[in-house]
Chains A and B, each alone.
Chain A
């Protein structure tokens, strides 16, 4: 019997068995092609592009974490370990597809052209968000877990009214999947057959809470129960994530309704720069996941596919330049001015804020005169 050469033959498993489907993989953790990888083939050119995105994203995390340790940032949440899930998915979307991220999607944000400065300003305490979503078509981060999934769903219902063929993507975590809003969004999008791609990065932890506390049924099985097209993918295999996201978005664009991709991945760092993950997870567990590191796997694959030193050297140099940019941009970030904020609460004039703006300005002048 010959193995199938169509992606759907690998990713479309049974819909609602409580065990879930096996994760789809193209490249095994040791960098070799899986059976599906052999049959379907993997583009080395695409692999190089996605690998480059991941290397830069990891460099941002490393730099930002040390900037936090040096007191330049007050907090940093790392995408470290989750680069493949983010890069593979966002690169499979069209640049015109709107994205509603959670708060850990720096790797995805970089792919949309958002600058390190814009990514860091929120974590320096300069602002609550860093960028205008209109250009990158990437909404500001949502820190209240899962709320953004409803915004994406509403945005997608507008797309249906306008009969566009866009996909609206939203990212969230395994912990957020327990929130009411996320489940309302699944149901709402399914009932309305809306073009939403729900992308869950199951990084196994929600701060100190493991997924076993969040759910009994795997998320992709739960999603199928809601009527979503559900996919289960190795989130540390960037090529597999890209392939599955491509398939899912094609089906959504064809009017197939919403889909969920559950990407199995791992948060290598703490929840944030303030977290101490040693309090709740073992070194062995981390070591086990390090063997599945998304970057190492791609480097091995690419070296095996004859990407030469030239490619890796050039990338290393690009990463060093990028790192310098990150440091420079971080140090250039200015704090907020309280006086500016009075004008940003309402669109139209508001008497309370008008009065308070004046009172605040006046208060500042009295401080000056006492010196």
Chain B
């Protein structure tokens, strides 16, 4: 067991995966000599054989498209998209090529490609650097979509994602890159299992990636007011761990979902529908969603008001309890 930051844990996970399997490649913009703009790939180019860590031209469709070609040859490429808002030039290659190749080939071809995306706001960035676009990819059959929130998951989930024979979109919580935590030597969960971080009898908060910390803080504040609020870290967005969600929803009867993405047609919408379908008679209140407003990500000076914070989460818990 060691303590490290989220960013360092992903770095260590990548290193481990590359050591374990020489078919694992890292590619993206500035990932080599520089080590990535967030230094997540720091030192990898230096330590591995030539060609294993590649500084690519600045062409996102090219990054994913050539990764597909490499995967067809037996490699396991891990692509870095420099910032969430720059994945869209690769949209077709992800959604129509990467995601569909297995089905289109009648199950003959597999594309074990991981696409790492630093996601979300809260770092005072200019436009296009703070987006939460997981719903696009979760909506696409053929992809798996995961979101880590802490160093231990970052370390193990990146390796599990690389081991997956299906393509995985791997979200990294940008504003949590520098937060420290313990990393265990072996994984405690599968890639697509949710984690119940605390159980609650009054209400359950469901979050992923950067908002897990927000949810935990809200649950602690509620506890001071005498309420038992649980927290589920989704970890996997597609597929969802519906069993864990159902269990927690059934035991508390109230669910509030917290994410940075806007709520309209969001992961929260899917979870609300799914819980309503499976736990209708156990619910004490409608499932509520706390997320971004339905506008493009605003200028950084107002992002603290825009992002769901502890107060907005607690307000939603209050609303849920009032039913």
Contacts and interface: CB of A to CB of B under 8 A. Distances in A.
A and B are interacting partners: yes
B46 interface: no
B165 A347 contact: yes
B57 interface: yes
Nearest to B62: A184
A74 B62 CA distance: 33
A154 B69 contact: yes
B61 A154 contact: no
Contact of B106 (A127, A142, A157, A351): A127
Given A153-B66, A156-B69, 19 more contacts: A129-B104, A129-B106, A132-B108, A133-B109, A139-B72, A140-B104, A151-B65, A151-B97, A155-B69, A157-B69, A158-B69, A158-B70, A181-B92, A184-B57, A185-B62, A187-B57, A345-B141, A347-B165, A351-B239
A188 B59 CA distance: 9
A184 to B, nearest CB: 4
Given A129-B104, A158-B70, A188-B57, A150 B65 contact: yes
Interface string A295-331: 0000000000000000000000000000000000000
B104 A154 contact: no
A247 to B, nearest CB: 25
Contacts of A39: none
Interface of A: 100, 127-129, 132-134, 139-140, 142, 144, 147, 149-161, 180-181, 184-185, 187-188, 191, 341, 343-348, 350-352
Given A158-B75, A347-B110, A180 B61 contact: yes
Contact of B107 (A153, A187, A344, A352): A344
B16 to A, nearest CB: 21
A343 B62 contact: no
B70 A154 contact: yes
7 contacts: A144-B97, A150-B93, A153-B66, A188-B56, A344-B106, A346-B102, A352-B239
- Give the 3 A-B CB pairs with smallest separation, nearest first: A154-B69, A150-B65, A154-B66
- B contact residues, range: 35 or more
A102 B51 CA distance: 29
User: What is the interface of chain A mostly: helix, strand, loop, or mixed?
Assistant: helix
Given A185-B62, A191-B57, A350 B239 contact: yes
A184 B61 contact: yes
Contact of B142 (A160, A343, A345, A351): A345
B68 interface: yes
Interface string B30-70: 00000000000000000000010000110101101111111
B102 A181 contact: no
B100 to A, nearest CB: 8
